[in-house]
Structure formats: structure tokens, C-alpha cells
Amino acid sequence: MSGNYLPDGVPSPHPTQDDYPFWDYCKEHELRIQQCAACNTFRHPPRPVCGECGHFTWNWTAVSGLGTVFSYTIINHSVHPALKESLPYNVAVVLLDGVGDVRLVSNVIDAAPEQMRIGLPVELVWQDLPDGMALPRFRKGGAA
């Protein structure tokens, strides 16, 4: 066990041509979101073209890591054998502060199922995986 919210043995992300910089920053415990260099619109998941203006250049902008729970579900049935001991656990869609409509699918590591609610303020925490990957997860707190 790693002390992570979910156990070792859960498959790690497999970075793609478009999102490998996001994951490389995660390994450095930096949450950076792709931002169009022409119109400044943030977007996630990473992709090569801005959906707002069609521009092909972007920056990786560091963000605060504060946000709120936009939606969530409580998982009661494991989809992977490694997860059986972790039931029930939450999967949350977190709306990040200050970056438009950017949302991350993650977990709120310190919230019991009955504590989860839409609008719950959360803040970023990093959880390192045995293979060197690091996942952005969240804990209760942060902005009101």
C-alpha cells in the first residue's frame, strides 16, 4: 500500500501525444492547464486546437488547485480487482477556480460518502504512484 486514496495496482494514466506535458507537470507536483495563446481560454483535457478560436498555440499555465465539487458519484461496485478493498469510494468532477469551465475527474480523499456534496470546496493534494506518476487529487477545504 502507498497510503494513496486508492490502492497500488490500479492502472496508471497512459499519457498521449496531447496530454503528456500535463502528466509531466503532475510528476513535478505542478497543476498546469492548457491555455490558448491567442484568446486565453483554458481547456482540459489537453488538445491541439482551441475550441473557441481555432488557434494552434498554447501555454501550460499554473493554477491554484482550489476548486469546488461540480458533481460526484459514490462507487459501490469495483470495476478493477485492486479496488475491492477501497469500496465505497468517491469519484468527483472538480471545477477549478479561475480557469473558466475546466473540470478534473478525481477523488476527494478525506470525504466520507455522506460528506460529499455539490459545491464542496476542495484543494489539490498530490498522490505519488509507484511507477513515478503523480495524480492530482483533492481534500476538503480551500475556497468557501
Q: Which residues bind Zn ion (CB under 5 A)?
A: 36, 38-39, 41, 50, 52-53, 55
CB 92 within 8 A of CB 106: yes
Closer to Zn ion by CB, 58 or 89: give it: 58
Cβ at position 3, least distance to Zn ion in Å = 40
The torsion angles phi and psi of 69, rounded to 5 degrees, stand at -70, 115
CA-based angle 77:44:111, to the nearest 5? 40
- The whole-angstrom separation of Cα 87 and Cα 119 is 23
Cβ at position 39, least distance to Zn ion in Å = 3
Radius of gyration of the chain (CA): 16
Closer to Zn ion by CB, 88 or 98: give it: 98
Shortest CA distance to 101 belongs to which of 15, 33, 18, 53?
Answer: 33
The torsion angles phi and psi of 96, rounded to 5 degrees, stand at -80, 140
Cβ at position 142, least distance to Zn ion in Å = 28
Cβ at position 40, least distance to Zn ion in Å = 7
Closer to Zn ion by CB, 53 or 87: give it: 53
Closer to Zn ion by CB, 27 or 47: give it: 47
